[in-house]
Amino acid sequence: MIQKTIALVAHDNRKKDLFDWVAHNREMLKEHKVFATGTTGKMVAEVLNDVTRLKSGPLGGDQQLGALIAEGKIDYLIFFWDPMTSQPHDVDVKALLRMSVLYNVPTACNRSTADFLITSSLYGDKVYKAILKDYSIYLNRNTEQPA
């Protein structure tokens, strides 16, 4: 089996949902490296061994995960976010989701998508190399001097 690195995040109103999903999929997750933010990490550690806990999302955990994504260290992002509650760190949430799209990381924001991800033939034993879009045109655009 090829060990993957999976990031787990859940807003307060979705933590139980993520916990239930992790418990249900324990066998599929237990051989992989897991990162989780704050309280989510504490909960997930009740089911899985070796969970690397980051800071709480509002205290920088979302940004820590974004940095790991930018460094190519996250294979999957499972983020059960709450679409009905405004978060004090909405900008961090948006930045994290932006990084997952920018670096083409498979991302699930609900249980159905997480189920599809974890049961995909690309999960586990397969090596999957994400194709990254070349965004260098944006770098050139931002460094050009006005005429």
For residue 134, the domain's CATH number is 3.40.50.1380
Q: Please state the separation of Cα 57 from the chain's center in Å.
A: 12
Number of domains observed in the structure of the chain: 1
Structure tokens at 145: 């001097």
The answer to whether 105 and 75 are in contact (CB under 8 A) is yes
pLDDT value, residue 128? 80
The answer to whether 74 and 105 are in contact (CB under 8 A) is yes
Q: Which of 17, 62, 115, 134 is catalytic?
A: 62
What pTM does this model have? Answer: 0.88
Domain that holds residue 38: 5-143
Give per-residue pLDDT as tens, 59-89. 999 999 999 999 999 999 999 988 887 777 7
Does residue 75 carry a catalytic annotation?
no
Helix or strand run (H / E) with residue 29:
helix 26-29
Between CA 62 and CA 74 the distance in angstroms is 13
